[in-house]
Amino acid sequence: MTDNGYTVGDYLLDRLAELGVTEVFGVPGDYQLEFLDHILAHPRVNWVGGANELNAGYAADGYGRLRGMAALVTTFGVGELSAANAVAGSFAEHVPVVHIVGAPSKDAQGARRVVHHTLGDGDFEHFLRMSREITCAQANLVPATATREIDRVLSEVREQKRPGYLMIATDVARFPTEPPTAPLPRYTGGTSPQALSLFTEAAARLIADHRLTVLADFLVHRLGCVDELNTLLGADTVPHATLMWGKSLVDESSPSFLGIYAGAASENSVREAIETAPVLVTAGVLFTDMVSGFFSQRIDPARTIDIGANQSVVAGQVFAPLDMSAALDAVTAILTGRGVTSPAPEPAATPPPADSPARDTTLTQKALWDRLSEALTPGNVVLADQGTSFYGMAGHRLPAGVTFIGQPLWGSIGYTLPAALGAGLADRDRRTVLLIGDGAAQLTIQELGAFGREGLTPVIIVVNNDGYTVERAIHGPKASYNDIAAWRWTDLPAALGVPDALTFQAGTYGELDEALAAAAAASDRMVFIEAVVAQMDIPPLLTELAQSASAANAS
């Protein structure tokens, strides 16, 4: 591929391409510049430079959620530590990102030289040791074992759906080697036949002729079991819900979709259906404070089949090792084989559609999310930043084929703006819709220009409520630490490199309606909407969660 022949760096890139990675995110630094030349020369991998390493890490995360694998390249020390927050978020939320760190040469490391981007003590593994806490596999590559270690780390990232870390010194990256001769081996044999048989027997006894209800969450998606879940839901009349974390995992337009379950913060009908189900299957569920109404879920283990990544539990009895896909298939077989068809659930009473607000009505959070949910179309990828954007949209049903991305566990504000870049590059045929508060956007707005550079045309809605409203809801509604500087938001696309973006400021319902109509008509341009709402206008779900957060923090 280069005049110097095939190298360890080329091997790594070929393996990434094999895993579906066609974009590599990062920021250049002198310890990996030569490796970046190999990225530019690679026939299947493209370089996507970020405004900073944190943004590049967020972009890789958004990419990895849609592609199932992503890659991030930073320089040693300063670069990798800047990206550490993003990598930790990928670890917490089970996103497979390979973090590749360009390091000083092995000669410099062996001589313990005091070189730039180090702590000056001759120890070149400080940051490798730090990375062990937020990655599932790590390697400091050396020529003799580099390709084997690359395969090991990439395999672990693929199987565990969490980040991995590769430190590649300048001279190791250019070291000659041979291309892969076989595909990256897959892990097999995760299910014990005996565990599967015993699980099936126990699940069949518990299910008997009862109606089954399903509560699903994000791990079903991360582990690639969405098809198995949908097959289960189609095997009978199966009422089902998701947590906010797993929003858009299932078709929310289905008559059997109950809604979002959030413990005590749920709608009453959803809470009753989940908590009183004769038999409940929880699939890929992980209850966290902000998706469970601060652990207010009331799930009876005696009536529950809990299907996890590597084990399942039936009425308190554990069956392992048992892959999620095998367990879901077993429950599907029980439903199809028992000769019982569950009656359709009683349709929930739906209030008549409310009239749209008058066009000159001051814009509110409710009107914003109601109108936006109407404007979404199949294929949209919606990214909602933690705060009023996430909790404002969480309760709205999405059209079939819409993907919803948030970060409710790690909850790093500003995450979604660069993540929308990554998601847009992961699937250019789908239009991204970014929903982000003004406070969050100020953290990562530098990446706005990259959308234009990469030819992406998202719809970006910045909710201008004059500061950190999510924090005001928890504590200090008038405290100065929840204030931010006022920006001229609609000037920013042009200033940051997207001069042809359509920009709107919407302070009334009519102005929002016009902006969304223009966005639908201008699919070939970025559309940037500043939605102005009152400072303390807070979605009801966030109000409930904020009160619980305040109480938890005070105890």
Residues known to be catalytic: 30, 53, 116-117, 411, 438, 465, 467, 471
> Which DSSP string do the residues of 354-367 spell out, in sequence order?
PPPPPTTSBP-HHH
Q: CA-CA-CA-CA torsion for 104, 110, 111, 117, nearest 10 degrees?
A: 30
Determine the Cα–Cα distance for residues 322 and 190; give it in Å rounded to an integer: 6
Residue 29 backbone class (left: φ over 0; alpha: ψ -120 to 50; beta: rest): beta
Any residues with CB less than 8 A from the CB of 461 and at least 6 apart, and which? 368, 372, 389, 433, 434, 435, 436, 529, 531
Q: In 3-state terms, what secondary structure has residue 313?
A: strand
Contact 23, 366 (CB under 8 A): no
Contact 235, 335 (CB under 8 A): yes
Contact 181, 213 (CB under 8 A): no
Order of strands across the sheet with 23-26? Answer: 46-49, 23-26, 70-75, 97-103, 164-169, 137-140
Q: Which residues pair with 317 in a beta bridge?
A: 314
Any residues with CB less than 8 A from the CB of 458 and at least 6 apart, and which? 420, 424, 431, 432, 433, 434, 451, 526, 527
Order of strands across the sheet with 502-506? Answer: 403-405, 381-384, 432-437, 459-464, 527-532, 502-506
Residue 538 corresponds to which tokens in the numbers above? 């807070």
Q: What are phi and psi of 278, to 5 degrees?
A: -55, -40
Determine the Cα–Cα distance for residues 208 and 172; give it in Å rounded to an integer: 60
> Which DSSP string do the residues of 58-121 spell out, in sequence order?
HHHHHHHHHHS-EEEEEETTHHHHHHHHHHHHHHHTT--EEEEEEE--HHHHHTT---TTS-SS
Determine the Cα–Cα distance for residues 479 and 161; give it in Å rounded to an integer: 40
Determine the Cα–Cα distance for residues 437 and 444; give it in Å rounded to an integer: 11
Measure CA 420 to chain center: 10
- Residue 227 Cα distances to 101, 162, 188, 294, angstroms: 35, 21, 19, 30
Determine the Cα–Cα distance for residues 383 and 490; give it in Å rounded to an integer: 20
Determine the Cα–Cα distance for residues 189 and 174; give it in Å rounded to an integer: 37
Contact 117, 127 (CB under 8 A): no
Q: In 3-state terms, what secondary structure has residue 16?
A: helix
Q: In 3-state terms, what secondary structure has residue 348?
A: coil
